Chain A
C-alpha cells in the first residue's frame, strides 16, 4: 500500500487556498441528498456535525455520554492558541507554525501544521460570535496569556474552563441544527463497528447503551471524532469513558494507525493516592512558574517536608537544567520526576511524587499574590488531597494526558479507507511526537469548523456512491459479528472484573511503555500483555445482560480493544529506535541523558496496517520533509 498524503503543491502559505480552489463543490440543492455520520460530539465531532448540518447535509451524530455536551473536551482547562497577535508581541501565523513543528520534535507534517496556524485566527472569531465568554481586559478586548513555555502570549482562555466554554459553543450550534432538522442526535449510543462496502466507508453498527439494541446506520461517508486513547494506561487525565474502540474497529477494517506510541505525559498532576485510584487530575502547568520542585536527598526519607532542612533537599530540575530550571518542557520534567522516584527518593505514601513548593514565592511575593495567581488550583488541590498547599508543599507526579498517535489521515483528513474521515485527537494529528499546550482545542475546531466541511464536499462530488440497502450481505455480516462479540463478552463467566484487568494492563503500559522505554521492557510488556489478554477471555466476569444499560459490558468491549492497541503501541515504540518528544528510548539519549533523535532513519510517520487477529501488523512509512523549519536538536541546559 502506498500512502498518499495529498499535500498540495506550491509554497506553504498557499497550499490550503490552492487545495480549497481545486476541490469540487456540492451544489446546495444536492447537499440534502447526502447522509453523513459523525461519531463523536467533542470539539472536533461537535463542530463538524454542526457545520455540516448548517451546510445542508443530513447528519446523524453519535456519542456515548447522555448528552453531546459532556464530551471529554469539556475538561480542557488552560486555553486555546491562535496567531492573532493581539498582544503585538511578535506572534504570527508563521511563528505558531514554527513553534508547533519544533515543539512536535519534527515528527509532524509541515503542510498540515501551517494550515492549522492559518485557521487558528478564524476559530477565535467563530467562538466569540457564538458567545464564548473568553477572558477580557478592562478595555473590553480579549485577554491572552503565554502557555507551555511559549515566548508569546497567544493563548485565549475562559477562566480554567476553556474547553467547557468552547464545547458549549459547538454543542449549542449542534442543538440548533437538531432543532432545524438537519442533525439527528444519538446520545448513549456507542459505535461498535464500521461498515465498508466496495472499499468505501458506508456506515456504522452501534449499540444503544440503554436498550442494548444493535443497530445499523448507513450513510455516504463516516467521520470519526472519537478522541484519544490515553485510557489504555487505565490511569490518565482523560475522562473515564474515553476509549479507542471506534478508531480500533476502523483500524481492523483497514484504516492505518500512525505513531501509536506517541503519548504525552503531563508533569504536574495530583499523584496516585492508593490502588483504588480511578483517574488522575491535572494541575495547570502554570504552577511551575512560581513553584520549586524538590525531593529529599536521602532515599526513603519519611520526614514531613517541613522537617527536612534546606541542605537535605534536592531541587533536581534547577540542578540539572540551570538555565530553564523548573520550566523545562513537559517531557523533560516528567522523566526527571520518574528518575528521582525510581531512585527511591519519591515522596508521599506511595513514594510516587515530588514536592512542588511555593514557600519561597509566598515569602517573596506574599500569600495574596500567589492566591491571586493560583487560588482556584490550590482549592482544587486541597479539595482532592485535603492538604493546604499554602502551608505544605504540593505533591505532584506525571500522568498520561494526550495521545499524538491516531488513525492516519491525508491532508484532507481522510483515512486509508475512502469515505472514512478522522478529526481531532482521534487522528494522528498535527502535533508530531509532542503536543504544545493549548493546541489540541485549536486542532479539533480547525478540523471540524473549517477543514472537514470542504474536504467532505470534494469527496462526495468526486465519488460514485451506489445506494445500499439495510439487508446488504456485508451489512448483515457486520451486524452479526457485533452481536456475537457482545454475547461472547457476556458468556465468559469468569471471576475477574473488567477494571481489575484494565488496571493491570495500565500498570504494564505505564511501567514499560510510559515515560521512558527500552527494548527489554517493551518485549517483556508484549509478552505479559499477551498472557493477560488470554486470561481476559477466560476469566472475565460481566454481570447483567446485553438488553439493558450495562456499564461493565461497555467497559469490557473497550478494554478488549485496549489489549490489541497496547500490543501495537509497544511494537511501535520498539521499532522507533530513537527518542523524540514524548517517546523516550533509554538506549537513545545524549551523555547528559537528553532525548536523542535519529532523523536519518526515523524522520517518518509510522503507519501500521492490521493483518488479522494473531498476525503481525505491517509497517508503512510516510516520509516527512522539512523545507521550512530546519531539523535541530532541542536543548534546555
Chain B
C-alpha cells in the first residue's frame, strides 16, 4: 500500500547552531522500515542537492542501539519493545503527519539533526560498569554454578542496548533505567559481587556528574524501552546504592576503579 506522509523533522546544523522543525513530503510503502522511509526521503533531498537528514543507525536489527529519535513524541515510535529501525511503515496510515525529534537531555547534546552524543553512557560504564578480570586469570567457566533463574534475570537486565530512549522519554531526563540495567546485570551474578558496592556508588555518582536527572518513578522509560528493561531493576539499584552508602559511610574515597 502507498503511504503519502508529511514529516516534520528537527534540522540542526551542529551542536552550536539552533535547530528548527522542517516539513517534508515523502511517498513510502507499508513494507519499508522507518529508516528505509527516511532513506527514500534522503535520496530525494540529495537529488535536489539538499543535505540529507542525519540520523544514527548501524545494525538495523534492533541490537546495536545506534538508532533512536522521537516519533510523534514517543521514543522509538509507537510500537512497544521495538527500536525505530525495526519499526515498519505498515503501522502508519496514509496521509499521516509525523514529528521526528532527537533525544533531548543536557547529557545528550545534539550533534546534528537527529544525531546526539551519548558519550555520557560510556563514561558511566567506565566509572564502574565492569568486572575487573585480567585476560587469562579466569577460573574454569563451570567452577561457579549459577542458578538458572539468577542467570536469566541477569540476562534480562544485560539486554540493554544503550540506546538512550529511557533518558529521552523520562520527564526528568534520568538515566536510571540504563544505570539499573548494568548495576543489576553484574550485581546479580557471583562474578559481580566483589565490586558490587563500589560499582553502584561510582556509576550513580558519574550519572549525577553528567547532569542526568533524578528518578521520581514515573515509568515512561520502561514504557519505551525497546528491550523491556523493568522498573524493578531501578528499585534493585536504589537498594544496592543505599547499602553501599552505608558500607562506605566512613570512606573518603569511592574505590572500585581498579
Q: Chain A interface (Cβ within 8 Å of chain B)?
A: 47, 50-51, 54, 65-70, 72, 74-75, 84, 86, 122, 124-131, 133-142, 158-159, 161, 164-165, 168, 171-173, 175-176, 178-180, 185, 187, 210, 239-241, 273-274, 276-279, 281, 383-386, 449-450, 453, 495, 497, 499-500, 541, 543-544, 548-549, 551-552
26 A-B pairs in the complex with CB atoms less than 8 angstroms apart: A47-B135, A51-B135, A66-B118, A67-B162, A70-B64, A86-B142, A128-B191, A131-B185, A136-B147, A136-B148, A139-B145, A140-B145, A140-B146, A179-B257, A185-B122, A187-B122, A210-B117, A239-B59, A239-B60, A277-B36, A278-B36, A385-B31, A386-B31, A495-B47, A497-B46, A548-B14
Q: Does B205 contact A (CB under 8 A)?
A: no
How near does chain B come to A574, taking the closest CB pair, in angstroms? 33
How near does chain A come to B142, taking the closest CB pair, in angstroms? 5
Does the CB pair A543–B14 fall under 8 Å? Answer: no
Does the CB pair B126–A499 fall under 8 Å? Answer: no
Q: Name the one of A68, A274, A450, A495 contacting B122, with C-beta atoms under 8 angstroms.
A: A68
Q: Does B236 contact A (CB under 8 A)?
A: no
User: Considering the chains assembled together, what is the distance between the CA atoms of A54 and B142 in angstroms?
Assistant: 25
Excluding A142-B142, A175-B126, A279-B60, 14 further A-B contacts by CB distance (< 8 Å) are: A54-B134, A70-B64, A126-B135, A129-B191, A133-B155, A158-B155, A158-B158, A159-B159, A172-B125, A276-B29, A450-B136, A541-B47, A543-B52, A549-B54
Q: Name the one of B130, B137, B142 contacting A175, with C-beta atoms under 8 angstroms.
A: B130
Does the CB pair A137–B148 fall under 8 Å? Answer: yes
Write the chain A residue with the least CB distance to B29.
Answer: A274
Residues of B contacting A126 in the complex (Cβ-Cβ under 8 angstroms): 133, 135-136, 138
Does the CB pair B191–A131 fall under 8 Å? Answer: yes
Does the CB pair B185–A69 fall under 8 Å? Answer: no
Contacts A187-B119, A274-B32, A281-B61 known; A543 to B49 CB distance under 8 Å?
yes
User: Considering the chains assembled together, what is the distance between the CA atoms of A279 and B39 in angstroms?
Assistant: 12
Does the CB pair B54–A541 fall under 8 Å? Answer: no
Does the CB pair A164–B63 fall under 8 Å? Answer: yes
**CB contacts between A and B, total, < 8 Å:** 219
Write the chain B residue with the least CB distance to A495.
Answer: B47
Residues of B contacting A165 in the complex (Cβ-Cβ under 8 angstroms): 155, 158
B129-168 toward A: CB 8 Å interface, digit per residue (1/0)?
A: 1111111111111101111100110110011011000000
How near does chain A come to B102, taking the closest CB pair, in angstroms? 13
User: Considering the chains assembled together, what is the distance between the CA atoms of A543 and B159 in angstroms?
Assistant: 37
Does the CB pair A241–B58 fall under 8 Å? Answer: yes
Most chain A CB inside 10 Å of its own CB: which residue of B111, B122, B185: B122
- The 3 closest A-B CB pairs, nearest first, are A140-B145, A129-B138, A172-B130
Q: Does B232 contact A (CB under 8 A)?
A: no
Does the CB pair A278–B60 fall under 8 Å? Answer: yes
Contacts A175-B122, A176-B126, A549-B54 known; A278 to B64 CB distance under 8 Å?
no
The B89-145 residues at the A interface (CB cut-off 8 A) are: 90, 111-112, 115, 117-119, 121-122, 125-127, 129-142, 144-145
User: Considering the chains assembled together, what is the distance between the CA atoms of A124 and B142 in angstroms?
Assistant: 10
How near does chain A come to B154, taking the closest CB pair, in angstroms? 4
Q: Does B180 contact A (CB under 8 A)?
A: no
Does the CB pair A140–B135 fall under 8 Å? Answer: no
Does the CB pair B14–A549 fall under 8 Å? Answer: yes
Does the CB pair A134–B151 fall under 8 Å? Answer: yes
Q: Name the one of A129, A171, A276 contacting B139, with C-beta atoms under 8 angstroms.
A: A129
User: Considering the chains assembled together, what is the distance between the CA atoms of A141 and B54 in angstroms?
Assistant: 46
Write the chain A residue with the least CB distance to B116.
Answer: A66
Contacts A51-B135, A54-B134, A543-B46 known; A133 to B185 CB distance under 8 Å?
yes
Secondary structure at the B interface, as helix, strand, loop or mixed, is loop
Does the CB pair B129–A75 fall under 8 Å? Answer: no
Contacts A158-B155, A499-B43 known; A176 to B142 CB distance under 8 Å?
no
The B32-53 residues at the A interface (CB cut-off 8 A) are: 32-33, 35-36, 39-40, 42-43, 45-47, 49-52
Q: Does B13 contact A (CB under 8 A)?
A: yes
Does the CB pair B66–A549 fall under 8 Å? Answer: no
Q: Name the one of B57, B90, B115 contacting A549, with C-beta atoms under 8 angstroms.
A: B115
User: Considering the chains assembled together, what is the distance between the CA atoms of A239 and B65 in angstroms?
Assistant: 12
Q: Does B82 contact A (CB under 8 A)?
A: yes
User: Considering the chains assembled together, what is the distance between the CA atoms of A84 and B54 in angstroms?
Assistant: 46
Contacts A125-B139, A140-B147, A241-B58 known; A497 to B43 CB distance under 8 Å?
yes
Does the CB pair A66–B64 fall under 8 Å? Answer: no
Write the chain B residue with the least CB distance to A139.
Answer: B145
Contacts A74-B59, A499-B43 known; A383 to B32 CB distance under 8 Å?
no
Most chain A CB inside 10 Å of its own CB: which residue of B47, B64, B125: B64
Q: Does B88 contact A (CB under 8 A)?
A: yes
Residues of A contacting B50 in the complex (Cβ-Cβ under 8 angstroms): 543
User: Considering the chains assembled together, what is the distance between the CA atoms of A449 and B186 in angstroms?
Assistant: 21
Residues of A contacting B36 in the complex (Cβ-Cβ under 8 angstroms): 276-278
Residues of B contacting A176 in the complex (Cβ-Cβ under 8 angstroms): 126, 130, 132
Does the CB pair B162–A138 fall under 8 Å? Answer: no
Q: Name the one of B43, B57, B144 contacting A240, with C-beta atoms under 8 angstroms.
A: B57
Does the CB pair B63–A172 fall under 8 Å? Answer: no
Does the CB pair A70–B139 fall under 8 Å? Answer: no
How near does chain B come to A233, taking the closest CB pair, in angstroms? 15
Q: Name the one of B45, B51, B58 contacting A65, with C-beta atoms under 8 angstroms.
A: B58
Does the CB pair B130–A541 fall under 8 Å? Answer: no
Does the CB pair A54–B148 fall under 8 Å? Answer: no
Q: Does B176 contact A (CB under 8 A)?
A: no
Residues of A contacting B145 in the complex (Cβ-Cβ under 8 angstroms): 136, 139-141
Does the CB pair B111–A210 fall under 8 Å? Answer: yes
Residues of B contacting A65 in the complex (Cβ-Cβ under 8 angstroms): 58, 64, 66
How near does chain B come to A66, taking the closest CB pair, in angstroms? 6
Contacts A66-B118, A175-B126 known; A129 to B131 CB distance under 8 Å?
yes
